[in-house]
A and B are shown apart, each in its own frame.
Chain A
Amino acid sequence: MNKPVTVDESLAREFGLTGEEYGRVLSIMGRTPSLTELGVFSVMWSEHCSYKSSRKWLRGLPTKAPWVIHGPGENAGVVDIGQGYAAIFKMESHNHPSFIEPYQGAATGVGGILRDVFTMGARPVANLNALRFGSPENPVTRRIVDGVVRGIGGYGNCVGVPTVGGEINFHPAYDGNPLVNAMTVGIARQDRIFLSAAAGVGNPVVYVGSRTGRDGIHGATMSSAEFDEDALSKRPTVQVGDPFIEKLLIEACLELMATDAIVAIQDMGAAGLTSSAVEMAGKGGVGIELNLDAVPQREPNMTAYEMMLSESQERMLMVLRPDRTELARKIFEKWELDFAIIGHLTETGHIVIKHKGQLEADIPLEPLADEAPVYDRPSIAPTKPEELGSVHAPLSLDAMLLQLVASPDLASRAWVWNQYDSTVGGQTVRRPGAADAAIVKIDDTQIALALTTDCTPRYCQADPRTGGAQAVAEAWRNITATGARPLAVTDNLNFGNPEKPEIMGQFIAALEGMGEACKVLDFPIVSGNVSLYNETRMPDGSTQAILPTPAIGGLGVLEDVSKAVGLGMQADSDLVLIGATKGQLGQSIWLREILGREEGAPPAVDLAAEKRNGDFVRAEIKAGQISACHDIADGGILVAAAEMVMASGTGCELESPDSGIRPEAFWFGEDQARYLVCVADAASFCAKAAQAGVPARLMGRSGGNDLILPSGVTISAARLKSAHESFFPALMDQ
């Protein structure tokens, strides 16, 4: 950027603005903007920062409940978890960077979401993720899985926040566009929550953390475009993470937050210094003046444009009380982090940027925010899928079960989890795989959080509305299955190009389904992130969209952590099936893995039944009547039973279904709102369920070390596990 650049519509287009949007810039400014000003407009109005395609539809989602302290609009959602504590949490995507450079893309995704949470005053206590990779047969997949897993572990392990849960799917639709969604959960005292709205004209604006380099310039714009064959040449726009600095930043910020020095604070995420300065001043209704000479810089001769658009990691912007500046400086010096006063708040209502004695930008903040484009993009409603016709099992039940537990979407994730530190902090009550949701205790209390991430993209592809509802319902069910009370949701909406009416139609329908489920289940959405343009441009010019993937991060609370249950089969118990079974095989894992077909309608989501069955299960867990619980999801009843056996090594003899449903449909159908539970006495338990209007029936009796099918065929826990655990090592260590 050393040679003079002419700012015009063609440059604006290069920066990702449309001609119409550039026209708005001209009318707001009343003149041709400077390069830096154009840069500020282009990132603030990018899809990533402005939500211009999605905002209209996000407004329709339920976001309120008596326990919600801060919903969408802050850096993360905040809910009341009792005893004066708040849980602060959010999920965010780093999809595009993770394809270009998997290790750094995933690592900085973790770093970014951590900052969104600790910037509000919370100590991060748990990380989760939701990952989607291409086909295991695609040779690129292995490299991406390896880099993403190493990146998540490399960052999370070093900062000392346990990675306690997550989900992974494989599908060819993600071949050129994997999804890396990272979630962080933190804990704060309710009276020590920090917000981003700047206040106090004259107050100093302080920069802390890493120095600014040229990395990540225009990252937000890159995240707002489809991939093409040149994607890999964009590697310089991927940022590089430093988890050690992040760890110091967490400790220094929390130390400062224990004082009264901070007026407002925000991390520098996408669009770096630009978005943090613009959003803080804009929310506070004040102006802000920055002197870039004071910005700590990693490289010489950086221009104003470069500094304003850099996405260098591990940086925060704060507004401090002037009389506490020295106190703050001492804390950051102790942690050996840069600390610089780079500006102050003004009463102009403008962002003014100066560098080397030159005025580089002077933009009115109100129109920058208020006149940001919002699009009501054309959409085509998804067509209802055809119901699946009759299908027949080609193999015996035991052969199909062994094939399913070894399949990519159901195989053991231990190879992945074992690279994530899940115990650091000493509060992890249930580690990955031990319960349907991870359980993390709050130190010095009996309160624990139940945490999960869920989405079934193949359902969303077939029927976005049902799939959106199912993702929310499954998160709610997974939390319920531990005994916890589901409280709230963060979402990460991953879709294709919104300029295509059919993609916009998927988006709208999925949000309708999600919204309805959140409403019925009293499970509001308190934070989230939208990632669009998840498509790969093929050599022939066509584009391939990902499966619609509205990933749900669910959070629940247990008032008494000692009541939590896991999914491992408990010895000498009756195994009871809760919920109605119709044997719906449309879009099931069985259909895909055994018959090689992705067809039909996904299982129906009956939210009233979901709530009734779940409320019953939760109450019985609380009453101590259930010793193990597992929700029935991918793979149906038989896979769920096998997972319970593998988790504890205790076997189970299954009853004949005797249901009038074909065996493969009964055992592998994916009907929703169902659980398998271990109870002492099925008869009295089922009678109680009947009184509550909840379908329940004896499904088996636990004991020994084998899973025994009604036919008498016996599969040992060891044999199941050996099939279950083979997939990842075979894929990755070949």
Chain B
Amino acid sequence: MKAAIVVFPGTNRERDMAIALRRVTGQAPRMIWHHETDLSGIDLVVLPGGFSYGDYLRCGAMAAHSPIMGAVRDFAAKGGHILGVCNGFQILTESNLLPGALLRNADLRFLSQDCHLRVEVEGTPFTRRWKKGDIFRTPLAHGDGNYTADAQTLAALEGEGRVAFRYADVKGRVQADDRASNPNGSVNSIAGILSENKRICGMMPHPEDLVDPLMGGEDGLPLFEGLVEALVR
């Protein structure tokens, strides 16, 4: 799997993502400055976390218009695999590559803590290493992670098995109005979603920050291992 990480002005979790990808592929991913437009030879495009353009407009809105995003759209149209984490998820929704939007956290404060995610769909490139209902721990760190979408979109996401991850408590119970288990107030406790072809995944938490026992665990590793399996050439 040849992975590329897109770096926008203000991106700040590109090194974390590079560590996780290097861990599973054995090679350093390509770092792509947002002014570039060439994605040839790439199997996986990652839009990492951070504060692109300072989040001074809506989060991700400016980055969605960067030159690289034209190439990312073409890549998506050809069936390419894309992972967007945190700010990367926001950029994907702002680019209309994923539906819905991410609002301010319900309590209006930045949140940095561990959360638990329940895997909602198995067999996708992003979740194939888990079984449906598996629970894993991952850090989150964002001010705008409160996922929302209109009723029709939600029905489609839920009906087509496109909710990849939900916030849950440690035992896997999902309760959208409980801030302890659904910290940012996301609708239906949605933490991550998939595109129609299930090749684009956006999620708010940071599995890339939990891939080493030294940092507290390897709970995030299956996501990256699964991608390597799915995208092996």
Contacts and interface: CB of A to CB of B under 8 A. Distances in A.
Interface string B87-108: 0000000000000000000000
B215 interface: yes
Contact of A423 (B10, B50, B112): B112
B141 A160 contact: no
A157 B110 contact: yes
A159 B112 contact: no
Contacts of B54: 158, 242-245, 247
Contacts of A160: 12-13, 50-51
Interface string A124-166: 0000000000000000000000000010011001111000000
B9 A424 contact: no
Interface residues of A, number: 34
Contacts of A154: 110
A429 B215 contact: yes
Given A158-B51, A429-B215, A423 B209 contact: yes
Interface string B39-68: 000000000011101111000000000000
Interface string A226-264: 000000000000000011110110000000000000000
Interface stretch (A414-422, A605-613, A636-644): A414-422
A191 interface: no
A245 B112 CA distance: 23
Counting chain B residues whose Cβ lies within 8 A of the other chain, the interface size class is 20 to 34
A419 B112 contact: yes
A418 B9 contact: no
A429 B56 contact: no
Nearest to B16: A426
Given A242-B54, A423-B206, A424-B141, A335 B9 contact: yes
A162 to B, nearest CB: 9
Interface in A334-352: 334-336
B36 to A, nearest CB: 12
B10 A158 contact: yes
Q: Interface residues of B: mostly helix, strand, loop or mixed?
A: mixed
Contact of A428 (B10, B53, B55, B215): B215
Contacts of B230: none
Given A335-B9, A561-B214, A247 B209 contact: no
Contacts of A419: 109-112
A157 B53 contact: no
B139 interface: yes
Interface in B2-22: 9-10, 12-13, 15-16, 19-20
B110 A425 contact: no
B141 A421 contact: yes
B197 interface: no
A441 B214 contact: yes
Contacts of A323: none
A383 interface: no
A677 B216 CA distance: 21
Contacts of A10: none
A67 B139 CA distance: 36
B221 to A, nearest CB: 13
Nearest to B35: A334
B104 to A, nearest CB: 13
Which of A418, A426, A429 neighbours the largest number of chain B CB atoms within 10 Å of its CB? A426
A656 interface: no
A424 B110 contact: no
A443 interface: yes
A429 B13 contact: no
B113 interface: yes
16 contacts: A158-B12, A158-B51, A160-B51, A242-B54, A244-B51, A247-B12, A336-B9, A418-B113, A419-B110, A423-B16, A423-B141, A423-B206, A424-B12, A424-B13, A424-B16, A443-B15
Across the A-B interface, the 7 shortest Cβ-Cβ residue pairs: A160-B12, A244-B54, A426-B16, A421-B141, A158-B51, A423-B209, A421-B112
Interface of A: 150, 153-154, 157-160, 242-245, 247-248, 334-336, 417-429, 431, 441, 443, 561-562
Given A159-B12, A426-B212, 9 more contacts: A157-B112, A158-B12, A418-B113, A421-B110, A422-B112, A423-B16, A424-B13, A424-B16, A431-B216
